[in-house]
Chain A
Amino acid sequence: QSVLTQPPSVSGASGQRVTISCTGGSSNIGAGYDVHWYQQLPGTAPKLLIYGNTNRPSGVPDRFSGSKSGTSASLAITGLQAEDEADYYCQSYDSSLSGRVVFGGGTRLTVL
């Protein structure tokens, strides 16, 4: 059971817009800790997609954007492409117990 909750799957047609939510609580996102997003293509290592809630590393298309509000964050992908089909993970920090880095359970994006 992940501290950060993501939908197991989302889907969208090519060219459409999808969003992936990441819901936390008062000891992580709600406490002000930043949220970061990773894309993991099948059989590969994760890749940093969004950091500090809204920032894109160089080389990441502006079709990807992040936002954060209250105890939740979201990843939006516009102009869906077949190559976007992957697993997406949010990450933050949780201060409960002894404190630790936490990941969401992951969301599988299917491009129809």
Chain B
Amino acid sequence: EVQLLESGGGLVQPGGSLRLSCAASGFSFNSYAMSWVRQAPGKGLEWVSAISGSGTNTYYTDSVKGRFTISRDKSKNTLYLQMNSLRAEDTGFYFCAKDLYMGSGSNHDLIYDYWGQGTLVTVSS
């Protein structure tokens, strides 16, 4: 059974940092692209970042470029999102999500067949 379990959320002041983790199990982690998708309270879904199965290719939405870094550790089957210079508008639930197809190297055709339960990030003074 595929499971994705996020952790690392919390309350942080503007300008601060957090690192989110997503522990994956039940599938060949190294073979699938993974993404982070966020949702501000009461709002819609917003794609944040993606990484290929090999970790070679990374992609970001413009508003987080230069501030967030996505990475993965194949030895721990874990996806990460390092978030620096946090802003109030970064507040929301952060979901990790698995791509449907094995071996996707681009972000042109990502399809999310499994999602974690989300971890809440609150940026406030």
Q: Tell me the A residues contacting B by CB distance below 8 Å.
A: 2, 33-34, 36, 38, 40, 44-48, 51-52, 57, 87, 89, 91, 93, 97-106
For this complex, 8 residue pairs linking A to B, each with C-beta atoms less than 8 Å apart, are A48-B100, A51-B113, A93-B107, A97-B62, A99-B108, A100-B59, A103-B44, A103-B45
Instruction: Note all chain A residues with C-beta closer than 8 A to B109.
Output: 33-34, 93
In the complex, A51 Cα to B118 Cα: how many Å? 22
In the complex, A31 Cα to B44 Cα: how many Å? 24
Q: Is the CB of B44 within 8 A of A104?
A: yes
Q: In the complex where A101-B50, A103-B44 touch, is A48 in contact with B62 (Cβ < 8 A)?
A: no
Q: Is the CB of A89 within 8 A of B45?
A: yes
Q: Is the CB of A45 within 8 A of B116?
A: yes
Instruction: Note all chain A residues with C-beta closer than 8 A to B44.
Output: 2, 87, 89, 103-106
Kindly report which residue of chain B lies nearest to residue A44, judged by CB atoms: B117
Q: Is the CB of A101 within 8 A of B107?
A: yes
Q: Is the CB of A106 within 8 A of B45?
A: yes
Residues 67-96 of B at the A interface (beta carbon under 8 Å): 95
For the complex, is B47 an interface residue (Cβ under 8 Å from A)?
yes
